[in-house]
Structure 1
Amino acid sequence: MAGKYFDELEVGQIFTHALRRTLTETDNVLFTAMTHNPAQLHLDAEYCRTETEFGQRLVNSAFTLALMTGVSVGDTTLGTAIANIGWDEVRFPAPVFHGDTLHFETEIHALRESKSRPNAGIVTFIHRAFNQRDELVAICKRTGLQLKSPAAIEGAAG
């Protein structure tokens, strides 16, 4: 199992994810179309060239958020997550364009025991995405319900 149990995590722990991703026009157009987002900023090259400060299409920020979270799964929650509880403080401090290569890190921000589930804890992650120039392009806090290890559950019961 690749993910970490609640009791294997420590506040301040940082995971630098090995997966990197160069974002393509196909990624952006498919995600934007699949989510029925008609924003010209993602789909209309001529509009973006002549009417925006960017001069080109922006990658859909919801795709960036989903990718940033998805890349973190293998190192943090694969096989140990019970549920995603929510995202908070989602920010996109710099634009993402077709051809940008993103890399990611996750920090454990907070840990607390679940009050209703003795086999689980609540984890607050901070996910960060950086482009090829190491500029922060996305950041969010995400809260999840995470399994405790079988040894931790047995230890608490015994």
Structure 2
Amino acid sequence: MATERPAMGRWFEDLTPGMVIDHAVTRTVTEWDNTQFSVMTMNPQPLHLDQSFAETTEFGQRVVNSLYTLSLLIGLTVYETTHGTTVANLGFGEIAFPAPVFHGDSIRARTEVLSARPSSSRPTQGVVEFEHQAFNQHDDLVARCRRSALMRRRPA
């Protein structure tokens, strides 16, 4: 007989519009993070991988792959929002990277619940729209995205 794993994230009922969560976990981005992610995703962009090339750009150094930044942002938010309580990501929208991330930047995340509604076809679930934001150690906004998730309702 399988036992149900306890949820660590919040249930649908716990995620009310207007709620803001400043996430506890932060992460310093390393050169290895950027290189590994770029190579694994077959992204040969020299701005991410070639220091000599990057020094000739307006940034003067390599820039962290923006899709790594997005992945990190979502990952930093999971434990306090959807860990064990999400059924599926339904979509991502309005993704923006207003400032670059560099090796050595420490990233923190904030989430706002934009909307929450019961599912019309799944009575034990609901749809929540989040806005996730990532900030560096200087409090510069470096990434922002909206995410819709199908969430479990609290068991009866």
In the superposition, the TM-score normalised over structure 1's length comes to 0.93
Runs of 4+ in 1 over 6 A off after TM superposition: none
The reply to whether residue 80 of structure 1 matches residue 85 of structure 2 is yes
- Of 1, 9, 24 in structure 2, the residue corresponding to residue 3 of structure 1 is 9
Identity of aligned residues (%): 51
SS in 1 for 2:55: helix
Matched letter for residue 40 of structure 2: M
What is the rounded CA distance, in whole Å, between the counterparts of 1:41 and 1:143 in structure 2?
A: 31
Partner residue in 2 for 1:108: 113
- Of 5, 8, 13 in structure 1, the residue corresponding to residue 19 of structure 2 is 13
What is the rounded CA distance, in whole Å, between the counterparts of 1:30 and 1:110 in structure 2?
A: 35
Superposition pairs of residues 6-155 of structure 1, within 5 angstroms: 6-50=12-56, 52-151=57-156
Count of aligned residue pairs for this structure pair: 150
Matched letter for residue 88 of structure 1: G
Gaps of at least 5 residues in structure 2 are 1-6
SS in 2 for 1:142: strand
SS in 2 for 1:150: coil
Structure number having the greater helix percentage? 1
C-alpha RMSD over aligned residues: 0.7
In the superposition, the TM-score normalised over structure 2's length comes to 0.94
What displacement does 1:115 show? 1.3
What displacement does 1:41 show? 1.0
What is the rounded CA distance, in whole Å, between the counterparts of 1:29 and 1:144 in structure 2?
A: 30
What is the rounded CA distance, in whole Å, between the counterparts of 1:81 and 1:97 in structure 2?
A: 31
What is the rounded CA distance, in whole Å, between the counterparts of 1:94 and 1:36 in structure 2?
A: 23
What displacement does 1:86 show? 1.0
Matched letter for residue 142 of structure 2: V
Partner residue in 2 for 1:154: none
